[in-house]
Structure 1
Amino acid sequence: MRTFLRVIVSLLAVLVLVMVVVNNTAARLPAMPQADGQYISLHGKEIHYFEQPGKGTAVVMIHGLPGTYKDFEPVFPELADRHVIAFDRPGFGWSKGGWLPYQDQIDVVHELLTSLKIAPAIIVGHSFGGTLALGVARKYPRDVAKMVLVAPGAGGIRPKAIDNVNARYAQVTNLPVLGAVLNVTVNNVIKRVAATAGAANAFAPEKIDPTFQQRLLAVTMTSGNLAAFASDQLELGDTARWVDENVPEIDVPSVIVGAEGDRLVGIDHVRELARTLPGARLVTVDGSHMIPYTHPDVIAAQVKS
Structure 2
Amino acid sequence: MDLHYEIQGNGEAMVLLHSGGADLRDWQWIAPQLAQSYQVIAFDGRGAGQSPPLLDPANYVEELRSLLNHLHIDRAILVGHSIGGQIATDFALAYPDRVIKLVLIAPGLSGFQFSPEIQQQFMQIKAAVPDAEKMTELMLAQCLYRVVMTSQARNLMIDMSRHNIQRSFEWKTFEMQWTQPPTIERLNELQPETLFIIGTEDMADNLHVAELFQQVPHIRFAYLKGADHMPTLTHADEVSQLIRQFLKP
Give the match for residue 174 of structure 2: 231
Aligned length: 237
Alpha-carbon distance in structure 2 between the residues aligned to 1:127 and 1:142 = 23
Q: Residue 230 of structure 1: CA displacement?
A: 7.9
SS of structure 2 residue aligned to 1:47: coil
Q: Could you say if the C-alpha distance between residues 66 and 56 of structure 1 is closer, same or farther in structure 2, counting changes exceeding 3 Å?
A: same
1:260, distance to aligned residue in structure 2 (A):
1.2
Pair 92,241 (structure 1): closer, same or farther in 2 beyond 3 Å? farther
Structure-2 residue corresponding to 1:165: 123
The match for 1:244 is: 184
Question: What is the TM-score normalised by the length of structure 2?
Answer: 0.83
Q: Is the 8 A contact 1:167 1:231 kept in 2?
A: no
Task: State whether residues 10 and 35 of structure 2, in contact with CA within 8 Å, keep that contact through their aligned partners in structure 1.
Answer: no
Structural mapping, 1:80-119, within 5 Å = 80-81=35-36, 82-98=38-54, 101=57, 104-119=59-74
> 1:125 maps to which residue?
80
Say which structure is richer in helix.
1
Cα deviation for residue 229 of structure 1 reads: 11
Partner Cα separation in structure 2 for residue 226 and residue 195 of structure 1: 16
1:283 is matched with which residue? 222
2:197 is aligned, of 252, 257, 261, to 257
SS at match of 1:231: coil
**1:59, CA displacement in angstroms?**
1.1
With over 3 angstroms needed to count, the CA separation of the structure-2 counterparts of 1:264 and 1:250, relative to structure 1, is same
Q: Which residue of 1 aligns with 2:24?
A: 69
Contact in 1 for aligned 2:21/2:165 (Cα 8 Å): no
Kindly name which structure, 1 or 2, has the bigger radius of gyration based on alpha carbons: 1
Q: CA deviation at 1:117?
A: 1.5
1:190: Cα distance to partner?
2.1
* Alpha-carbon contact 1:113-1:119 (below 8 Å) kept: yes
- 1:191 equivalent in alignment to 2:114: no
- 1:212 corresponds, among 157, 169, 172, to 157
CA distance in 1, matches of 2:224, 2:140: 24
Residue 104 of structure 2: aligned partner: 149
- CA gap 1:279/1:188 in 2 versus in 1, 3 angstroms: closer
3-state DSSP of counterpart to 2:217:
coil
**In 2: Cα distance, 1:270 partner to 1:121 partner:** 23
Q: 2:34 aligned with 1:79, yes or no?
A: yes
Q: CA RMSD in A?
A: 2.8
For the 8 Å contact 2:55–2:173, the answer to whether it is kept is: no
Deviations 1:278-304 (A, max 9, x none): 211111111211111122223323432
Partner of 2:212: 272
Q: Measure the CA separation in 2 of the matches of 1:188 and 1:155.
A: 27
Alignment check: 8 A CA contact 1:152 1:265 kept: no
Matched residue SS, 2:48: coil
C-alpha deviation, 1:119, in angstroms: 2.7
1:220 to partner: Cα distance: 1.4
Q: Which runs of 5+ in 1 are unaligned?
A: 1-40, 174-186
Verify the 8 A CA contact 2:110 2:179 in the aligned structure 1.
Answer: no
Task: Give the structure 1 partner of residue 91 of structure 2.
Answer: 136
- Read off the aligned partner of 2:234 and give its amino acid letter: T
Which string of whole-angstrom CA distances, capped at 9 and with x for unpartnered residues, describes residues 174-229 of structure 1?
A: xxxxxxxxxxxxx255234324424xx33323515212212222x1121x325659
Q: Structure 1 190/204 Cα, relative in aligned 2: closer, same or farther at 3 Å?
A: closer
Matches within 5 A, 1:1-40: none
Take 2:232 and 2:181, find their aligned partners in 1: how far apart are those partners?
26
Q: Tell me how far apart the structure 2 counterparts of residues 204 and 230 of structure 1 sit (CA, whole Å).
A: 30
1:50 paired residue number: 6
Structure 1, residues 15-63: CA drift from partner, whole Å, max 9, x if none? xxxxxxxxxxxxxxxxxxxxxxxxxx2xxxx2111211x2221110001
